[in-house]
Structure 1
Amino acid sequence: MLRKVIALAALGFAISAGPALAAGGAKAPKHVEFGFEGPFGQFDQAQLQRGYKVYREVCASCHGMNLLSFRNLGQKHGPFYDPDRPNPNDNPYVRAIAAEYQVNDIDSETGDVIQRPGTSADRFPNPYPNEAAARAGNGGALPPDLSVLIKARHHGPQYVYSILTGYADPPAGLNVSPGQYYNPYMSGDLAAFWSGDAHHVPVGGFIAMPPPLRPDGVTYDDGTKATIEQQAKDVVAFMTWAAEPKMVERKQFGLAAMIYLLILAGLVYASYRRIWRNVAH
């Protein structure tokens, strides 16, 4: 009876372990620290400006930010916030950035679809008119919207940073289809494409996006060296801000609330001691 139980347990373990070996998994995200992390973390405005430049010159050709408006760039703690112009609609940088884009509109006289320069009230336009056009322009893959992508991924900032900096040559024995790229930080099942030892399937997966960053791919206005790692950190910071532009205010409110509750707790305890000091317990 004991042998039968042991055999069944071993069989169950083998069955459960099989798919894990076949899937290969993905590497854990790289350990990288960002200044906006932690209870007291804040955004670095210069980094946000660099991150916007990376998005504008590298990412915006394929990825939209449909939930972000141009005026958000000039709001408090945003990349182009100006304390002298707290109203982002009056911010000349925001207005100039918006005017660089062409957005769809309707001619009030003819009803025809026209394009006009963007204004601070407009949302970031999508580079493709519809999903079919986006897939046609990317080999069948649909580029995700970057508005809240950081929030949609576990360990979002570290994950996106790892993907951007983690492209590598595929291991020998891994058959990569045309239009696909190997990335060890991308989750996937490589067993069907692996001709090596079935018990040593490489970790990672395929991604349709070619490596987007290259050294000196952008020129930073503040003179920062545009390495791949620096560009990745900057654009991740910008994407994190875009996903939660009120993050700093939320942290400040939370800190103020904790201080208030501590003071209130002290007052309540002092009142308790005063009211019941002459009452035997």
Structure 2
Amino acid sequence: MLRFFAPLIAPLVGLLFVCALLWAVFMAPSAPAVHLASEEYHLPPRGIHYSFEGPLGKYDDRQLQRGFQVYKEVCSACHSMRLVAFRDLEEIGFSKPEVKAIAKNWQVETPSINPDTGEPATRKSLPSDFIPPVYANETAARAANNNALPPDMSLLAKAREGGPAYIASLVTGYEDVPPALKKEFPDFTVPPGLHFNPYFANLNIAMPPPLVSDGQVTYSDGTPATKAQMATDVSAFLMWAAEPKLENRHRTGLAVLAYLVIATLLAFGAYRSVWHGKKH
């Protein structure tokens, strides 16, 4: 008898396993969907037009210079740009003397030690230096920012989904928690040290509002420094910092397209010349 049922044991076990799997997939009760405030109230970046958009886009040097001014006077208090050298600023229209004067406003550490304080000695930056970091290390940065780490801004415009439009929306998007959100999600709170911003992924961001009022920066070219203008300018500058060769890439792409069009026409002409009058 055992010999008769032994060959059937393995198929029966497999059949039971398949039935259990099918029941788990189609019959088991599904877990209730979790409805989060961040899913409903998180906003996409605003639609902001930039001169460098599209295949023919170009940077506006005046805008980039204004954006650098916003970075220097507002953002550089917390955010570094360790991949940008001062001499790179010549690419956005600053002259060599202007770059030299800009660099002198930053101090860089030297390998030597100050004998009076025991701290690393410093010197004024040179055009060949990179923009020095704000904090000595990550520990110091977190200690100064409620355990939050301010990101380096060198590649920020390319590292964040939405690019410069996201940055411009974020820095001007601080607001009070909407009453509708409080009503729909009574348990939603803004923890101490955080700020409500619907353009941030989880709605609560550690960075305080960087642009607090119009006229926070006085532009040398006379452009009205509204919050929206400052946000657009600094985000354009950060896009240039992340992709300084964008215009070269556009020119190369157009040249390649023109080459391909001409090559295609020549190939078609050669085909017609070779096969003209010949029957297949």
Q: TM-score range, shorter-chain basis?
A: 0.7 to 0.9
Match of 2:159 in 1: 152
Distance 1:227 1:122 in 2: 32
Task: Report which of the two has the higher share of helix.
Answer: 2
Q: Deviations over 1:83-124 (max 9, x none)?
A: xxxxxxxx111111111111112249x9x8321111111111
Indicate the SS of the match to 1:24. Answer: helix
Match of 1:206 among 204, 207, 211: 204
Correspondence list, 1:1-281, <5 A = 11-12=29-30, 15=32, 18-19=33-34, 21-25=35-39, 26-75=42-91, 78-80=92-94, 91-107=96-112, 113-172=120-179, 173=182, 174-188=188-202, 205-213=203-211, 214-281=213-280
The residue type paired with residue 208 of structure 1 is A
Equivalent position SS for 1:128: coil
Aligned-pair Cα RMSD in Å: 2.5
Following TM superposition, by how much is the alpha carbon of 1:10 offset from its aligned partner in structure 2, in angstroms? 10
How far residue 157 of structure 1 moved from its aligned partner, in angstroms, is 1.3
Task: Give aligned-pair identity as a percent.
Answer: 45
SS at match of 2:207: coil
Report the Cα offset of residue 29 of structure 1: 1.3
User: Offset of 1:79 from its aligned partner?
Assistant: 4.3
| Structure 1 residues 232 and 183: CA distance shift in structure 2, 3 A | same
**Runs of at least 4 residues off by over 6 Å:** none
**What secondary structure, in the 3-state scheme, does the structure 2 residue paired with 1:139 have?**
coil
Question: 2:162 and 2:27 mapped to 1: Cα distance?
Answer: 35
Where does the alignment leave 5 or more consecutive residues of structure 1 unmatched?
A: 83-90, 189-204
Q: What letter matches 1:160 in structure 2?
A: I
The one-letter code of the counterpart of 2:50 is F
Residues paired across the two proteins, number: 246
Cα offset, 1:171, TM superposition: 3.1
2:74 aligned counterpart, secondary structure? helix
TM-score, normalised on structure 2?
Answer: 0.82
> Alignment partner of 2:71: what SS?
helix
Return 5+ residue gaps in structure 2 as ranges. Answer: 1-22, 183-187
CA offsets per residue over residues 41-66 of structure 1, 9 Å max, x none? Answer: 11111100100000000000100001
The one-letter code matched in structure 1 to 2:52 is F
Aligned equivalents of 2:229, 2:190: Cα separation in 1: 28
Counterpart of 2:45 in 1: which secondary structure? coil
**Higher CA-based Rg:** 2
Code of the residue aligned with 1:167 in structure 2: it is Y
Name the SS of the counterpart of 2:136 in structure 1.
coil
> For 1:252 and 1:103, how far apart are their aligned partners in 2?
37
Amino acid at match of 1:215: D
